[in-house]
Amino acid sequence: METLTKTRRIGGSLVVTIPKTIVEEEGLVEDQTVKIEIKKVRKDGFGISKGLASLSKEDKFKGQLEEK
């Protein structure tokens, strides 16, 4: 099972929360030892403007030549 979660600081440690759905699906209980794998998720802007058309020459100069 895999999920994304954010770290939080408690005292001098960082902690993560296991979502309830995973706890229930895996049958986890308090004080149980589990193995976790740490991988940093790199944030990037790829896909942020998905679906937007690229700018044309007309778009670039739009409004600059119009009278005010």
Distance CA 21, CA 5 (A): 13
Distance CA 36, CA 25 (A): 16
Q: Domain coordinates of the chain in residue numbers?
A: 1-30
The pLDDT-based confidence of 64 (bands split at 50, 70, 90) is: low
Strand segments (E) across 1-68: 8-10, 13-15
Residue 3 token pair: 């999920």
pTM (2 decimals)?
0.55
* Chain-centre distance for alpha carbon 12: 25
- Integer distance in angstroms from the first to the last C-alpha of the chain? 60
pLDDT digits (tens, 9 = 90+) for 12-55: 999 999 999 999 999 999 999 999 999 888 776 666 666 666 66
